[in-house]
Structure 1
Amino acid sequence: MIEFESFAVELAHEAARVTLPFFRSGIGHEDKGGAAGFDPVTEGDKQAEAAIRRLIAARYPDHGVIGEEYGEDRPDAEHVWVLDPIDGTRAFISGLPLWTTLIALRVAEKPTVGLIAQPYLDEIFIGGPSGARLLRGATERPLAVRACEHLTDAVISTTDPDIFNGAERGAWTQVRAAARLARLGCDAYAYAMVAAGQMDLVAEASLKSWDWSALVPVIEAAGGRVVNWRGDAPDGSGQILAVGDSRLIDQALVTLKRAAI
């Protein structure tokens, strides 16, 4: 499995080679959301995913791929790479260095290797069977979540409360009211901060598999947990609760369960 972790890092570097020249370049974007609401996509998204897919096909032709921009290729394979070349495209087109590249390897349908990369900050957060670590330039250090016994002491995040429906928004509002501090607009970078012991909890909804698959191995290898709003393993509901300290799960689920799908 270490071989796959190393390959995921190669993929992140290839994605960075493509995306960084587009960042803060005045790049245009398309709105693929239509009636569902603004959902931007850039040439950076498309070209980065295409580049990653080419490397996977060359190295592991029997592996499947699921990506945000180009859909599914053999999603029932034993090994499936799950890709989001630019998670946080809104941040990307706004010049904010909170977008990330998300890469996961799913083995027998379970996310086993995960990577959250922020190339502008030269950061790669990776988790898998060999543990969790932060790669930055030539340096490497282990990642570990921090202790936080009570929700009232927690620093929490969600990307935007507008992602929630009515019941979900009410549940989030109660969790936010109980927490010490809430930060918004961080996209997947917030999950990296949970793994790094800087934040304690992230709750989101309406996520696709490419939005959450990479997060699970990173946070769990750092000592945290990722569940859905029923307290089970993440699934197609798109409702995600990630915590550094597992003692926060039941405290958050008191309200989140009421809106669980």
Structure 2
Amino acid sequence: MNDMMTEALRISAAACAIPKRYFRSSLSIDQKSDESPVTIVDRETEEFLRRELLAQFPDHGIFGEEFGRQSGDSAYEWIIDPIDGTRSFISGNPLYGMLLALLRNSEPVFGIVRMPELEEVYTGTSGTAFRNGTEPLAVSQTRDLSDAAIYINEGEKIHAAHPALFQRLCKTGQLRRFAYDCYPHMLLAAGHIDAVIDFDLQPYDYLPLVCVVKGAGGIMTDWQGENLTLRSDGRVISAATPELHKTLLELVQAG
């Protein structure tokens, strides 16, 4: 497993050169069927990751955002989001990420979150998580929602689908910020904030994050409190402590 992690880190580090080359330049932007934007950067980056991973692990499966799912002949499958936060990328915001996870029998084994412009990499596996390979990550010990720093991801989507919940979220916690994409979950893993409410995600958005959050001692589930899988509905809670997680579950389930 360490060899797989080492190769995945090497390959993803090399892949970062692609978005960094295009960042804050003029790009042609296409719209996918769900009206989300996609660029040549998303496609080139995923093509590179898929090609290099299959060269090292030819019997593994791959599931990527841009080119779908390719079955393998082993229990292992790679999950790829080449640019997590395309809207951030095309608007010059450096908080886009590159996500990679390895599943074994559909269960996350390890996750890698790269922030190319910040030159940060977060890794997580069972019981451990690190930033830049040497800095151990640990979540906060905040238990009371009134003391919590909370990030609300995809706020406009939550407002459209669950307006009453959105109003409750806007009044909860000690500090609230609206955000998008993977980085708030990494801030939680590093102990800087206490919870993230997220919405309308795909497996390649959340599965690479699970091992980092859990490895740092946090909890990451769907809004029903169930473990995240390939079949989860994309509504996600990350929390630093069981007490905070329980309170947030009650909040989102109140209707």
Same fold (TM over 0.5): yes
Work out whether residues 83 and 103 of structure 1, in 8 Å CA contact, stay in contact via their aligned partners in 2: yes
Work out whether residues 14 and 51 of structure 1, in 8 Å CA contact, stay in contact via their aligned partners in 2: no
> How many residues are treated as equivalent by the alignment?
253
Residue type at the aligned position of 2:83: I
Work out whether residues 2 and 130 of structure 1, in 8 Å CA contact, stay in contact via their aligned partners in 2: no
Give 3-state SS (helix, strand or coil) of 2:233's partner.
Answer: coil
1:143 — aligned with what? 137
1:3 — aligned with what? 3
1:17 — aligned with what? 17
Is residue 251 of structure 1 aligned with residue 215 of structure 2?
A: no
Counterparts of 1:52-201 in structure 2, within 5 Å, are 52-74=49-71, 77-129=74-126, 131-135=128-132, 140-164=134-158, 166=160, 168-201=162-195
- Deviation of residue 28 (structure 1)? 2.5
Deviates more, 1:180-189 or 1:160-169: 160-169
| TM-align CA RMSD | 1.8
Q: Relative to structure 1, is the Cα distance of residues 167 and 89 closer, same or farther in structure 2, using a 3 angstrom cutoff?
A: closer
Counterparts of 1:182-221 in structure 2, within 5 Å, are 182-221=176-215
Which of 231, 234, 238 aligns to 1:242? It is 238
Work out whether residues 175 and 252 of structure 1, in 8 Å CA contact, stay in contact via their aligned partners in 2: no
Q: Relative to structure 1, is the Cα distance of residues 158 and 11 closer, same or farther in structure 2, using a 3 angstrom cutoff?
A: farther
Gapped regions of structure 1 (runs ≥ 5): none
- Deviation of residue 186 (structure 1)? 3.7
Q: Relative to structure 1, is the Cα distance of residues 168 and 76 closer, same or farther in structure 2, using a 3 angstrom cutoff?
A: farther
Deviates more, 1:82-91 or 1:199-208: 199-208
Residue type at the aligned position of 1:252: L
Give 3-state SS (helix, strand or coil) of 1:213's partner.
Answer: helix
Residue type at the aligned position of 1:28: S
Give 3-state SS (helix, strand or coil) of 2:253's partner.
Answer: helix
Work out whether residues 145 and 224 of structure 1, in 8 Å CA contact, stay in contact via their aligned partners in 2: yes
Residue type at the aligned position of 1:18: I
- Deviation of residue 206 (structure 1)? 1.3
For residues 242 and 11 of structure 2, the distance between their equivalents in structure 1, rounded to whole angstroms, comes to 31
Deviates more, 1:46-55 or 1:71-80: 71-80
For residues 74 and 249 of structure 2, the distance between their equivalents in structure 1, rounded to whole angstroms, comes to 34
- TM-score after normalising by structure 1: 0.91
- Deviation of residue 156 (structure 1)? 1.1
- TM-score after normalising by structure 2: 0.93
- Deviation of residue 25 (structure 1)? 1.4
Residue type at the aligned position of 1:149: R
Gapped regions of structure 2 (runs ≥ 5): none
1:28 — aligned with what? 28
For residues 100 and 163 of structure 2, the distance between their equivalents in structure 1, rounded to whole angstroms, comes to 28
Work out whether residues 4 and 113 of structure 1, in 8 Å CA contact, stay in contact via their aligned partners in 2: no
